[in-house]
Amino acid sequence: PRVELAWAMKAHQHAQVYFNLISSVDPKFLNLTKVDDLIYKEFRKTFRDLKVDVLDPEELKSEGAKEKWRPFCLSFEGLVEDFNYGTLLRLDCSKDYTEENTIFG
């Protein structure tokens, strides 16, 4: 529980920074890491049918999903700082970060 709380606190800080970035810069010109294109390519290869505009929590947290997410995240060890930290995600990208619209993944 303490580790998850620490991750949630760090994720909240990151979410504030990232939300400010994506709110002030056209996202097509925004790179958050040096390997954004690789991450996206591998993400789409691994999660071909995952809808990202409106997320289903079950697709993120089920045992089957965790079996896919773990190796995906581990593949970026050494390339991305904090590659295995949790993150806050908006369930519906058209809405703000609120308690009802946010999941910790």
Question: What is the CATH number for 58?
Answer: 1.10.3560.10
> Domain of 52?
1-104
**pLDDT score at 20:** 84
- Residue ranges of the chain with per-residue pLDDT less than 70: none
Read off φ and ψ for residue 15, nearest 5 degrees.
-60, -40
**pLDDT score at 27:** 75
* Number of Cα atoms under 13 Å in the Cβ half of residue 59: 12
**For residue 93, what are its two tokens?**
């990208």
Number of domains observed in the structure of the chain: 1
